[in-house]
């Protein structure tokens, strides 16, 4: 390439250099502008990190300004979350109890920055699951195995009370807790079944005894009533009543007589005092 041609290229390179600088600056401005804003989605809160340090401010839902390359926004879900786990505990009478516990909880929106600073994003594994296990063990230890079955709602309320206190320490709020059926060992289940059968048989025996006692009492009362009736009837029987009954019997005999003497051999003919009967 000749010298003249090189001289002609110099102005073109200078023009390209002058054009490249504004383009680069424009790109930098666009990148900075994009990084100067952040959007917090619905159901979330934003934790502001400035050069790695947690700021006391918490960003609500919507668009927010941040310092590019200096501040970082960490989104934290504040909607109701579910944690379900299988738990094993011991009852007051040292029976092994297994159950599934489902917990609904959420982060306290105004304190998500403290949660992130003290716990981080692994709060379910580090806080919720161990707290559920500890609360269940603390509650079941206060009841026998049979009471866990008969007082299940009371046990759930106790677990909820203990768990709510523990979660509030880490800026979380308990919404609801559901405990499925308590499960025991096969030996204990068989013992419970045999006890229920024995209780049913004892109940049947008590009912039969009560029935027999009632029937006996009814018979006694009936006998008393009959005896009282006879006593009253005996008191009402007088000599005049006896004579009247005799006369009535004789009158009925006369009415039935056909006027013929009975034909009886070897026996005394019965005599009826008609005059006395008429009188």
For 46-64, the pLDDT digits (tens) are 999 999 899 999 999 999 9
Residue 77 pLDDT greater than 50, yes or no: yes
**pLDDT tens per residue, range 196-213:** 656 666 767 777 778 888
Q: Is the pLDDT of residue 278 over 60?
A: no
Q: Is the pLDDT of residue 19 over 70?
A: no
- Evaluate if residue 22 carries a pLDDT over 90: no
Q: Is pLDDT of 274 > 80? A: no
Q: For residues 111 and 72, what is the distance between their CA atoms, to the nearest angstrom? A: 17
Averaged confidence pLDDT in the chain? 79
CA–CA dist 189, 193 (Å, integer):
6
Q: Which residue has the tokens 């716990």?
A: 119
Tokens 């005394």, located at residue: 268
Match 């009533």 to its residue by tokens. Answer: 225
pLDDT at 131: 94
The token pair that represents 94 in the structure block: 């040292």
CATH 3.30.479.30 fits 81-187, yes or no: yes
Which positions ≥6 away from 274 have C-beta within 8 Å?
254
* From 79-93, 170-184, 216-230, 256-270, the region with the lowest mean pLDDT: 256-270
Least confident piece of the model among 17-21, 108-112, 126-130, 258-262: 258-262
Using an 8 Å Cβ cutoff, are 103 and 177 in contact?
yes
Res. 275: pLDDT tops 90: no
Under DSSP, the state recorded for 110 is: G
pLDDT at position 259, please?
Answer: 62
User: So what's the pLDDT on residue 197?
Assistant: 59
State the average pLDDT over residues 224-249: 66
Q: Are 97 and 183 in contact (CB under 8 A)?
A: yes
Domain-by-domain residue ranges, the chain? 18-77, 81-187
Q: Please identify which residue in the block is written with the tokens 């009841």.
A: 143
Give 257 or 117, the one with higher predicted confidence. 117
Q: Does residue 16 have a pLDDT over 60?
A: no
Is the Cα torsion angle 19, 25, 28, 34 positive or negative in sign? negative
Alpha-carbon distance 195 to 144, whole Å? 15
Cα–Cα distance, 162 to 158 (Å, whole number): 6
pLDDT (0 to 100) of residue 69: 85
Q: What is the mean pLDDT of residues 162-190?
A: 86
Handedness of CA 200, 206, 209, 211 (dihedral sign): negative
Q: Are 88 and 100 in contact (CB under 8 A)?
A: no
């Amino acid at each position: 390439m000749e010298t003249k041609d090189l001289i002609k290229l110099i102005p073109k390179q200078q023009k390209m250099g002058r054009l490249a600088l504004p383009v680069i600056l424009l790109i930098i401005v666009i990148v900075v502008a994009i990084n100067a804003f952040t959007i917090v989605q619905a159901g979330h809160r934003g934790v502001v990190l400035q050069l790695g340090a947690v700021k006391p401010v918490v960003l609500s839902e919507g668009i927010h300004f941040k310092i590019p390359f200096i501040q970082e926004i960490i989104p934290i879900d504040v909607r109701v979350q579910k944690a379900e786990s299988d738990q094993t505990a011991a009852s007051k009478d040292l029976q092994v109890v297994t159950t599934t516990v489902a917990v609904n909880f959420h982060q306290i929106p105004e304190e998500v920055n403290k949660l992130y600073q003290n716990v981080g994003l692994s709060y379910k594994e580090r806080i919720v699951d161990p707290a559920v296990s500890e609360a269940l063990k603390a509650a079941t230890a206060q009841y026998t195995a049979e009471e866990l079955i008969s007082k299940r709602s009371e046990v759930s309320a106790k677990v909820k009370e203990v768990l709510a206190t523990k979660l509030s320490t880490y800026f979380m709020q308990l919404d609801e807790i559901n405990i499925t059926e308590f499960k025991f060992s096969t030996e204990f289940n068989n013992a419970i079944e045999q006890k229920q059968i024995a209780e049913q048989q004892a109940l049947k025996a008590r009912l039969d005894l009560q029935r027999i006692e009632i029937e006996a009492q009814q018979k006694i009362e009936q006998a008393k009533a009959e005896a009282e009736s006879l006593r009253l009837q005996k008191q009402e029987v007088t000599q005049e009543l006896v004579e009247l009954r005799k006369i009535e019997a004789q009158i009925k005999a006369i009415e039935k007589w056909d006027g013929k003497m009975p034909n009886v051999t070897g026996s005394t003919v019965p005599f009826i005092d008609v005059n006395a009967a008429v009188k």
